[in-house]
Amino acid sequence: MTETVVMMTDLDRLTERVEKAASLIQQLRDERAQFEQERNDLVGKLTELERKLQGNDAAALVHELTLLRKEQRESQTERRDVASKIEALVKKLERLEG
């Protein structure tokens, strides 16, 4: 009889281990499906970006961006200079009127 009880306990433990393993396998399958979906989404985004950049040399785009930033800085400097000159002229006009 004790042998039957031991066998039932062993079977219960084995059942529990099999259920845990099955649960873990299902969890891993779900995670794999999620990762596959994320990978597919990223592949799609990469393909879209490659399509947008097709025919554009990355080095040329970086160079053009650098030139545009330089032009922007020069324009801002020029605007500040013009603003300073206008302020100086306004002060002179105020002194002349005053």
pLDDT tens readout for residues 76-85: 999 999 999 9
What contacts 47, CB < 8 A, 6 or more positions away?
A: none
User: What is residue 59's predicted lDDT score, i.e. its pLDDT?
Assistant: 85
Token output for 43: 């592949």
Q: Would you list the domain boundaries of the chain?
A: 1-54, 57-98
For the segment 62-78, the average pLDDT, to the nearest whole number, is 94
- Residue 95, CB half-sphere, CA atoms under 13 Å: how many? 6
Q: Is the pLDDT of residue 28 over 90?
A: yes
- Residue 14, CB half-sphere, CA atoms under 13 Å: how many? 6
Say how far apart CA 85 and CA 55 lie, in whole Å.
45
Q: What is the pTM of this model?
A: 0.47
pLDDT averaged over every residue in the chain: 89
Structure confidence by residue, pLDDT tens digits, 35-56: 999 999 999 999 998 888 787 7
